[in-house]
Structures are given as structure tokens and as C-alpha cells.
A = this chain, B = another copy of it.
């Protein structure tokens, strides 16, 4: 199918809109810092809300702060959701999530224009979405808004999430005017998401479009190390129960685990830490550490689970520090809907782009919905050098424009019902 739109003007508008967002919460190193429900994050939401509103979309904000640009052409028909997130990590790149919202907004507006001109008659309504707190940086868990939308996480639990200063998400949203009361668009017939790859597979293949086949399994947990507060000068070494020493031993052992599996099969991290009382002259009494392990192979994670348990016991024995384990997420390998994958391949082919299939190591909002039975399609655009969660993250304008073209075509197909036959695929 030859498409006459998006027009060159649409493609230029996508880049202009992206640049407008790039300037909000910009950091000295060329990135952005727009964590959930901060002033800058709110400004970026408002830019998108006004942009959609000006194009006839009804902007709704639901009780967990998800924002939707709703276009209901057929009352009562299910929705195709298309979008990503606008919240960022601290000191992050300009593309992660944001490109997905920008491309979705332009794609939505183009398809709407086509329908209103009588060129298309879609089966499903469309909503452009910006999910709340995808990153899990300021509030945890990650994928918070999409998980509440699809029923994986109770609303009250999501609203009760607290940042490190004890501010509840409910209050943070309230304070910036994004604790909504609108009903979110339902039911969802399908969800589409475009995202930067955060890896080098596309770059190495020389291809602009990645079709995500599935998500690696991820294990996330929190360790609390209970030591004993003491004077760093006065207290004998052998009597110390140093919570930070025990946590450091765990971090080192956790990293070493990766050496015991074939290269590339396991990724681990311990990236968030809280130390009490965190005073130079006081042996730390309590440390909280967040850890994760990711693999494409469930048996690897099962082995990790066993090894972590052993490591904890060894360190507790050696240091006298009591170690408490709190598991807070155990995401199984999630396969993306087959028809969704095919829709991306077909849409790319329709605009003359090649694709490769690839997995995602990171979580994305559409995966939460897929996990809860909503057919999802996830497409990746190249990230230069695979750099992500870093101010130097980059996707070229040309790739972004390819993204708009492919996502628009995928949206046409999804709105036409291309992902509908859930019962058949089994």
C-alpha cells in the first residue's frame, strides 16, 4: 500500500515537537532530567496535551496520572492505545520514552486526518498515551501507570508509592495537577509502542526498525542489611556489624555471578543504595540495596536465585549483619503477540524499511499490557552506540522520521483490527 501521508510537514513537525520537549529540563551534558511529577516533567506533559488538544483529541488524565489523547470516532468501540512515557531517569537522554510519545502523537493525528478525509474507516477508536512513572526512578515500581491501567497493580498501591523523601505519588501528582479523575479509554483492543533500542543490534545490522519478539526475564529484589551503629574510632573491628561492608560484599559477589554464565546470558545490577546514618564517623546500622538480574533464559535466573540465597547466608555469617530479602518483582519472559510483530514487519515493508527481530532486555509499558492479555506490538529505533540512561543517548532525526512513517502505518493496521484475533492465536 502506497501512502501519501505522513507528509513532509508531518515529519518536520515531529522533529520540531521533539526539539520543543528536548529543551524542557535540559541538562548541561546535552540530556534531560524530568523525573515523574516534577515541574519539568509536568511541562512536557502539558506540551503534549496542548498539541493533541489542538488536533481535536480529548485529553484525559486518569487516577494514576496516565494521560490519554482520546479520539472516539465510534462510541463504544475498543481502543488501540499508542504511546510511551515522558518521565525520565535523573540526568537522562532525550529519547527514552519521549520519542515514543512524539511519534505516537503525530501518527495519531495523521490517521485521524485520513479518517476524517474519508480515506480510512477504522474499526477501533484510538488513544495516544503517555504512561505515568515508567522509569521507576523517582517512584517504584517501574511501569507503574501501565500496570495500574491493566490491573497488574492495584490503584491504591500505586498511589501510595513514595519517593526517597517520603512524598507519595498521589500527593506529587496532586501538586502538579496531574492526579486525574477521568475514566481511561477502555477496553483496549491493542497497544503499540515505539522506543529507542538501548542496545546495538539495529546499529550493527544497519537497519532502522526492530521488531521486538519478547522480553527477557527479570528478577528484582531489595536487600535490607541490619548492622549495629557504633563509633568508627572507638569500636573494635571484630565487634563491628557493619551494614555497608556487608552490602559491599554482596555487590561484589553479585557482579561476579555473571562470570559463571556464558557471556551475554546474564545481566546484573545493584544501582540504588540507602545508608543509615551515613555519617563519616559512624559504623552504618542499616543499608537498603536494590538489585536485579536479567536473562533470556529462565534457568539462569533460577540459578541466580539460589546463588543469591547462598551468598546472603555467607555474608551474614561472616559479618554478623542480618540480611533481609524483599522480593518485589519477578517478571517472566514475555512473548509479544505474533500478529503485533507481523504488523510492525508489514508496516515497515510498506514504507520500504527492512527490519530485524530482537528481544528487549529492559521493561516497557506495552509489556505490562501484553502480560495482562492486551495484544502488544513494540518497535525499536536505533540508539547510537547503544547508549541509554545517559545524557549522550541519541537517535537521529532520519530514524525518528522513519519511526513516524512505520508507526503511522502500524496504527492504521491496528485500528483496522490487525491484532484482533486473540482467540485464534491461543
Contacts and interface: CB of A to CB of B under 8 A. Distances in A.
A264 B276 CA distance: 26
A290 B270 CA distance: 20
A142 interface: yes
A91 B284 CA distance: 11
A376 B245 CA distance: 36
Contacts of A90: 276-279, 282
Interface in A163-200: 164, 197-199
A118 interface: no
Interface string A41-83: 0000000000000000000000000000000000000000000
Given A251-B245, A273-B273, A388 B279 contact: no
Contacts of A333: none
A68 to B, nearest CB: 25
A372 to B, nearest CB: 21
Give this chain's copy count. 2
A27 to B, nearest CB: 11
A244 B271 contact: yes
B199 A137 contact: no
Interface in A213-266: 216, 218, 220, 228-238, 242, 244-245, 247-249, 251-252, 255, 258, 263-264, 266
Contacts of A89: 277, 279, 281-282
Nearest to A218: B233
Nearest to A250: B248
A390 B264 contact: no
A252 B255 contact: no
Interface string A275-299: 1111111111100001010100000
Nearest to A285: B91
Given A229-B91, A244-B270, A135 B235 contact: no
A115 B69 CA distance: 84
A228 B164 CA distance: 23
Interface of A: 89-91, 135-137, 140, 142, 164, 197-199, 216, 218, 220, 228-238, 242, 244-245, 247-249, 251-252, 255, 258, 263-264, 266-273, 275-285, 290, 292, 294, 361-363, 386-391
A135 B278 CA distance: 13
Given A137-B279, A232-B267, A271-B280, 6 more contacts: A91-B277, A197-B234, A198-B231, A231-B362, A235-B386, A272-B280
A386 B220 CA distance: 39
A238 to B, nearest CB: 7
A289 to B, nearest CB: 9
Contact of A199 (B229, B234, B277): B234
Nearest to A239: B386
Contacts of A255: 237, 242, 245
Contacts of A292: 232-233, 280-281
A377 B245 CA distance: 36
Nearest to A269: B232
Contacts of A140: 280
A101 to B, nearest CB: 19
Contacts of A235: 198, 267, 386, 388
A135 B234 contact: no
A234 B283 contact: no
